[in-house]
């Protein structure tokens, strides 16, 4: 087992994929598969937190180099990489504690809540992003215009 990802440090995205299954009795079936990928932004933000409530667009997840646009002008280009082992991702939430379970003298008595940590997913892939150079951005704009025609 590998490391643990913290959502504040490395966002996780659920990549929803559909794959065709061999037809049976001339009926085509689609099997849905969820794949989680860690978004590695370390090279861009160097440990700083991603700006809160920042609008973003993640496109091209089915390509070799997906694009993450933050706000209106910051474009990042990504590349898929395998992780060293399996990465476990957890989620944390506050949970109400019943009155009879509260411990005398602890902060549970005052707040009435405790943290509940649960497993969200595991993955063996990450999407490592870097700043997109101007030339790459121009090439991408040309490709987008061609695909609209």
Q: What is the pLDDT of residues 74-130, one digit of tens each?
A: 899 999 999 999 989 898 988 887 776 666 555 555 567 778 899 988 999 999 999
Is the pLDDT at 5 greater than 80? The verdict is no
Residue 109: predicted pLDDT? 53
Give the pLDDT confidence of 54-71 residue by residue, as tens digits: 888 999 988 999 999 988
4-92+121-148: which CATH architecture?
Answer: Sandwich (2.60)
Give the pLDDT confidence of 10-68 residue by residue, as tens digits: 676 666 554 444 455 555 666 777 788 888 989 888 878 777 788 889 999 889 999 99
Q: Where are the domains of the chain?
A: 4-92+121-148
Q: How far apart are CA 54 and CA 52, in angstroms?
A: 5
Angle at the Cα of 7 from the Cα atoms of 53 and 62, rounded to 5 degrees: 85
């Amino acid at each position: 087992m590998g490391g643990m990802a913290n959502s504040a440090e490395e966002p996780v995205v659920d990549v929803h994929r559909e794959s065709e299954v061999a037809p049976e009795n001339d009926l085509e079936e689609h099997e849905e598969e969820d794949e989680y990928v860690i978004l590695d932004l370390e090279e861009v933000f160097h440990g700083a937190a991603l700006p809160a409530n920042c609008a973003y667009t993640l496109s091209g997840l089915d390509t070799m180099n997906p694009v993450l646009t933050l706000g209106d002008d910051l474009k990042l280009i990504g590349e898929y990489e395998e992780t060293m082992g399996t990465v476990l991702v957890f989620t944390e939430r506050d949970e109400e504690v019943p009155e009879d379970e509260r411990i005398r003298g602890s902060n549970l008595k005052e707040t009435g809540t405790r943290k509940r940590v649960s497993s969200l997913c595991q993955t063996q892939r990450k999407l490592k992003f870097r700043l997109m150079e101007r030339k790459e951005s121009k090439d991408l704009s040309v490709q987008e215009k061609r695909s609209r025609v």
